[in-house]
Structure 1
Amino acid sequence: MGESMARRQFGEQTEALPEPEETPDALFNQSLEKGIAVLRAFSAQRRSMTLPEVAEATSITKSSAQRMIYTLEKLGYVRKHPRTRRYQLAPRVMQIGFNYLAADTLIDVANPFLSELTNVTGETTNLTEPDGVDMVYVARFVCMKFVPIHMPIGSRIPMYCTASGRAYLAALPEAESRTLLLASDRVAHTQYTVTDLDEIEAQLVLGRRNGYASNREELFIGDMTMAAPVLDGERRPVGAVHVVAPTSRWTPAEAEARLAPAVIDCARGISSSIRTLA
């Protein structure tokens, strides 16, 4: 699969190309699609928006944006500031995400293992799950020590340059991991970010051999992580566990020697537990 085609498959915004005509999907609800697009348009960069800004951010007409905003406001998912008249998300939006966390069996299984991993290592531990070309934080146990980067539940990180992403990719068949890498916008977040496809795949080979993956300041300066994949009963990866090893406290050699074995044991414990539930 070509790189541009792979990126379109996983939802990246690219230059419009001629597409063959497709048979209309009678079951697909375009109004629901637009409503979700409006909710997703709000972010740290767009904390509040006017109606024209909503229409522009979602690439829908102003009349459609008005209907979506009106409905979402009536349902309690969006609210309008009484003075500025700008729209913003309401706390009710969090109910959807919380329902996912409450229903995810993997999180329930992983929590005691993550807690123990934090006790053993003295560092912050996390569980992430895949979504497209990203890994999403779904569980986190924070240590008492200083952590340079705050990543709350729901945060997203790219697979290609993070330990948890590489651990997940390494556990996939090579053809599948390559498809995801081709779909990724492999930009350099720091001077240490590896963006070359061959170099990343070489690291995945090491990850398959060693049972863990690492990230050394490739996403954030001062942040180093060690991760291992969580596998289901079919030996398919369903997530990854990683432990944060700030460069102010750990050298790469120390992290590999002391943290990597603990992360592998944690991921194996979670994997074994979810297989017994299947």
Structure 2
Amino acid sequence: MSENNNSLFNQSLEKGLAVLRAFSAAQRTMNLAEIADAAEITKSSAQRMIHTLEQLGYVRKHPQTKRFQLTPRVMEIGYNYLAADTLVDVANPFLAELAQATGETTNLTEPDGLDMVYVARFVAPKFIPIHMPIGSRIPMYCTGSGRAYLSGLPKPEALALLNASEIKEHTRHTLTSIPDIQQEIEFTQRRGYALNKEELFLGDMSIAAPILSSQGRPVAAVHVVIPSSRWSLEEAEQKLAPSVIECARAIRTSIRNL
């Protein structure tokens, strides 16, 4: 838990949210002790939080195992964000058009901390190696959409995000040297799009372009998935990069006209 001395800061709310965030694909169900450990709170606090969340319908306890799990009601919070996000509404028709033009899966991601979060996705009928549902998070430093976003920031801000990242080698292709990553970001700035060549997942490549606000600040990134089973990166750059750039520009123009 954070050590926040602000008198307006509600630590009980912080603990309740920590309990919700503790559940994941790796921890789909948990008992009280596991919840306390995962949320980094005391067992008595975990008991109060889980009881409240259960009463509100966000958590339920299995009658046989007595283990807790999230309920579909949790999705209401994320849905409300997407429903209120004007950028998603604006981007959807352009992402659909890009998917049709390229024949590949297209995505919109927005920044959150050191990650990019999937907020819209149009899945191609062809096979894609990695399933990334809405709400999935990917690190900025080793992904096309992350580097596209970083390319729109002032250099000191981008460097600060890179220095704060937990940089690790996800595949044999992952760039782990900050100077090398910075060089890729500089390439992105010059050509208008970012590349990812299997740095996060093997078989998964992407071309991405930043979406800028009317103030010229990056607010999101659009990217198209390029399975290595169907494309070489060089061929994809030649055939798909112009469409990705145009999609990002069209979304940017539409945002400005709102």
Q: Report the TM range for the smaller structure's normalisation.
A: over 0.9
Local SS of the residue matching 1:249: coil
Aligned equivalents of 1:96 and 1:131: distance in 2? 16
Q: Which residue of structure 2 lines up, in the alignment, with residue 195 of structure 1?
A: 176
Letter matched to residue 219 of structure 1: L
**Over residues 241-272 of structure 1, what are the superposed CA-to-partner deviations in whole Å (9 max), with x where a residue is unaligned?**
00011111111111110111110000000001
Residue 23 of structure 1: how far off its partner (Å): 8.0
Who is 1:16 aligned against? none
Q: Which shifted more, 51-60 or 225-234?
A: 51-60
1:24 aligned residue: 5
Match of 2:155 among 164, 171, 174: 174
User: Which of 196, 207, 231 is the aligned partner of 2:212?
Assistant: 231
Structure 2 counterpart of 1:276: 257
* Structure 1 match to 2:238: 257
Moved more, 58-67 or 31-40: 58-67
Give the structure 1 partner of residue 226 of structure 2: 245
Aligned residue in 2 for 1:102: 83
**Any idea what SS the aligned residue of 2:72 has?**
coil
1:111 to 92, 96, 99: 92
- For 1:3, the equivalent position in structure 2 comes to none
The CA distance in 2 between the partners of 1:244 and 1:116, in whole Å, is: 14
Root-mean-square deviation (Å): 1.3
Same amino acid, percent of matched pairs: 67
Whole-Å separation in 1 of the counterparts to 2:4 and 2:46: 26
Aligned to 1:37, which of 1, 9, 18?
A: 18
Q: Provide the C-alpha distance between the structure 2 equivalents of 1:141 and 1:58, rounded to a whole number of angstroms.
A: 34
SS in structure 2 at match of 1:145: coil
Q: Segments of 4+ in structure 1 off by > 4 A?
A: none
What residue is the counterpart of 1:153 in the other structure?
A: 134
**Secondary structure, aligned partner of 1:92:** helix
SS in 1 for 2:257: helix
Which one-letter code corresponds to 1:275 in the other structure? R
Structure 2 residue matching 1:245: 3-state secondary structure: strand
CA distance in 2, matches of 1:39, 1:46: 11
Deviation of 1:64 (Å)? 0.5
| 2:56 paired with 1:75 | yes
**Structure 1 residue 84, shift from structure 2 partner:** 0.2
Q: Using the alignment, how far apart are the partners of 1:145 and 1:196 within structure 2? A: 34
Scaled by the length of structure 1, what TM-score is found? Answer: 0.91
Letter in 2 for 1:113: F
1:267 to 232, 241, 248: 248
Change (3 A) 1:240 1:66: same
Residue type of the alignment partner of 2:27: R
Counterpart AA for 2:106: T
Q: 1:276 to 1:199 in 2, by over 3 A?
A: same
Amino acid at match of 2:122: F
